[in-house]
Amino acid sequence: MKLQGILCVLAICVLAQTGEAADATWKAGSARTMITPDQFMWMSGYGSRDKPASGKVNDLWAKAVAIEDPGGHKVVLITLDLVGIDRATSVAVCERIQQDLGFDRSQVAISTSHTHSGPVVGTNLMAMYSLDEKQREQVANYTKHLIDQLVKLAADAVSSLKPAVLKTGEGQATFAVNRRNNREADVPMLRENGLLVGPVDHSVPVLAVRDQNGKLLTVVFGYACHATVLSGMEWCSDWPGFAQEEIEKNHPGVQAMFWAGCGADQNPLPRRTVELGQEYGRQTAASVDRTLKSPMRPVTGSLKSIYREIPLALDRIPTKEQIEAELKSDNVFLVRRAEWLMRTIARDGSLSPTYPYPVQMWAIGDQVNLTFLGGEVVVDYSLRLRDELPGSSNWVSGYSNDVMAYIPSRRVLMEGGYEGETSMIYYGLPSKWAPAVEEDIVKTVHELHDQLRPPASSGQ
C-alpha cells in the first residue's frame, strides 16, 4: 500500500506539471487575403500621377497574425501593402473587430508598408489628388470592400490559433539612406567611400512563430525605410513585398509579414527599377534568414496591450480668410488643401487645433516592447526610444493605425523642409505640428511603457 501511495503521489505530480506546461503554452494563428484592386483605379503616394494604374508587377496583400499568451490575452496584427490608411477606415475596421471578437481597442494593430504603388484608400492623402466622380466612387467602393476583408481576416487568424513557440531576434540591412542629408545622385559614390551621413536605423527586428515541433509558421519583421523604389503606373508591393515573397520562397508554407519602422526620412537608394526593389527585398530576406538561423530568444511571460489617443497640437490654424486666399493660389496642391479645409469648416464649423494621434504598445512576453505610432515617423523616434526605454528589444512601427501626416522630431521640425512642414499640404492638415510634437509623443510612449511594465519599487 505504501508503494501504491508513492506511485499515486508521483502520478499527481506528473499531472500537475503537465497541466502547468499546458497552461504555459502560447498560441498563434495567421491568415491572408489579396487586396489588389480588381480594376485600374487611382494610385496613391505621388502627386505627379495624372491617370489610374495601368498594370501590375505583383499582387498586394493583407496579412494577419493572432497571438495569445498562456493567460488567454490575445492581440491581432494586420499588415497591409498600402501607402497608408485614414482614421475613418481604421476606426471602422477596429470597431467591427472589437465587436465581433470581444476585443478592446488595444488588441488590434494595423500597420501599412507605405508602398507608393498601391491604391488610394479612404481619405488618405486626398488633398494630393483631383478625382472625378467615377474615381471617387472607385475609392469608396474599394475602401468599403477592404474594411470587410480586414474584419474577416482578423477573425480567420484568431480562429486558427494553435499552440506555438515564439522567438525574437534582430538582424541588419544597410540600403536605407537618410534622404535629408545625402543627395540621391551622390549616394553610390558616398556609399562606396563610406561618406554617407545622417541618422539611420538599419536594424531588422524579427519575430518567429513555430509550432511545437519547431516548424516555422510565420515570420514578422520590420525595417525603417520608405517603400519608394518604384514610381510607375503598375500595382506593386515594392521592396517590402519582394522581401516577403523571398522569405516565403525560401520557407515554403510560411507567412511573412512586414511592418514599416520609423523611415519617413529614409529612402532605398539608388532606386527606380524593379530589379533594385527585388535586390533590396533579397537583402532584407537574407538578414531575416540569418536571424532565424542564429540563437533567438524564446518569448516567455505574458502579453499586454495598451492604446491611447492624444490631442497632438498643430502650430497655427489659418483663418477662413487665409484659406479662401489659398483657393486662388497657382499651386494646385494648396488649392486642393484649401478646398478640403473649407469642406471641413462647412461640416464641423471650425478647424480643430489638435489631431487625435494614436499611440499603442504591446509588451510581448518579458522580451519585447512593440510600439505602434501613427503617421510617417522620422528615424529620430526609434533611435531615441531604443535608448530611453528599459530593455534591449524596443521595436517601433510607424505608419500604424492612422497615417495622417509626417511626424517630425523637433530637430526635423525646426529644420523645416518636406518632412517638417510642406508635406502637411498633401495630407490636408492646416499647418505644421506645434514645437512640442516630439516630447508629447515620447512622453506618452514612456507612460504606456510604465503602465505595461511598472518600474520596480525602491521601497524596503
Asked if the model's pLDDT at residue 27 lies above 70, the reply is yes
- Stretch 177-206: mean pLDDT, rounded? 97
Q: Is the distance from CB of 64 to CB of 81 less than 8 angstroms?
A: no
pLDDT of residue 390: 87
**pLDDT tens digits for range 31-60:** 999 999 999 999 999 999 999 999 999 999
Asked if the model's pLDDT at residue 15 lies above 70, the reply is no
- State percent of the chain over pLDDT 90: 92
Total residue count of the chain as it appears in this document: 460
Asked if the model's pLDDT at residue 458 lies above 60, the reply is no
- Stretch 168-172: mean pLDDT, rounded? 97
- Stretch 83-109: mean pLDDT, rounded? 98
- Stretch 162-173: mean pLDDT, rounded? 98
Q: Is the distance from CB of 404 to CB of 380 less than 8 angstroms?
A: no
- Stretch 240-247: mean pLDDT, rounded? 98
- State percent of the chain over pLDDT 70: 94
Strands (E), 173-226: 176-178, 203-210, 216-223
Asked if the model's pLDDT at residue 20 lies above 50, the reply is no
Q: How far apart (Å, rounded) are the C-alpha atoms in residues 317 and 353?
A: 6
Question: Amino acid identity, residue 347?
Answer: R
Average predicted confidence (pLDDT) for the chain = 93
Burial of 410-445, coded b for 16+ CB within 10 Å and e otherwise, reads bebbeeeebbbbebbbbbbbbebbeeebbebbbebb
Residue 10 has φ and ψ, to the nearest 5°, of -60, -40
Three-class secondary structure assignment of 359-414: EEEEEECCCEEEEEECCEECHHHHHHHHHHCCCCEEEEECCECCCCCEECCHHHHH
Asked if the model's pLDDT at residue 342 lies above 60, the reply is yes
Q: Which of the pair, 158 or 17, is modelled with greater confidence?
A: 158
Q: How far apart (Å, rounded) are the C-alpha atoms in residues 136 and 129?
A: 10
Return the DSSP state at 173. Answer: -
Q: How far apart (Å, rounded) are the C-alpha atoms in residues 367 and 170?
A: 12
403: its cell numbers: 497615417
197: its cell numbers: 551621413
Asked if the model's pLDDT at residue 23 lies above 80, the reply is no
Distances in Å between the Cα of 4 and the Cα atoms of 9, 14, 219, 241 are 9, 15, 49, 62
Q: Is the distance from CB of 137 to CB of 266 less than 8 angstroms?
A: no
pLDDT of residue 6: 40
Confidence of residue 161 (pLDDT cuts 50, 70, 90): very high
pLDDT of residue 391: 79
277: its cell numbers: 526593389
**pLDDT tens digits for range 394-429:** 999 999 999 999 999 999 999 999 999 999 999 999
Backbone CA torsion sign across 443, 445, 451, 453: negative
pLDDT of residue 126: 86
Confidence of residue 24 (pLDDT cuts 50, 70, 90): low
pLDDT of residue 31: 98
Q: Which of the pair, 208 or 392, is modelled with greater confidence?
A: 208
Confidence of residue 455 (pLDDT cuts 50, 70, 90): confident
Q: How far apart (Å, rounded) are the C-alpha atoms in residues 344 and 294?
A: 53
Residue 263 has φ and ψ, to the nearest 5°, of -115, 25
**pLDDT tens digits for range 277-291:** 999 999 999 999 999
Q: How far apart (Å, rounded) are the C-alpha atoms in residues 64 and 218?
A: 10
pLDDT of residue 7: 40
- CA 389 to chain centroid, in Å, comes to 20
Asked if the model's pLDDT at residue 12 lies above 80, the reply is no
DSSP state letters, 272-336: SSHHHHHHHHHHHHHHHHHHHHS--EEP-S-EEEEEEEEEEEBS-PPPHHHHHHHTT-S-HHHHH
pLDDT of residue 350: 95
Q: How far apart (Å, rounded) are the C-alpha atoms in residues 250 and 252?
A: 6
Burial of 96-117, coded b for 16+ CB within 10 Å and e otherwise, reads bbbeebebebbbbbbbbbbbbb
Q: Which of the pair, 130 or 245, is modelled with greater confidence?
A: 245
Q: How far apart (Å, rounded) are the C-alpha atoms in residues 55 and 52?
A: 10
177: its cell numbers: 539612406
**Which residues have CB under 8 Å from 285's CB, separation 6+?**
243, 246, 247, 250
**pLDDT tens digits for range 298-327:** 999 999 999 999 999 999 999 999 999 999
pLDDT of residue 367: 83
Asked if the model's pLDDT at residue 459 lies above 80, the reply is no
Q: How far apart (Å, rounded) are the C-alpha atoms in residues 171 and 287?
A: 5
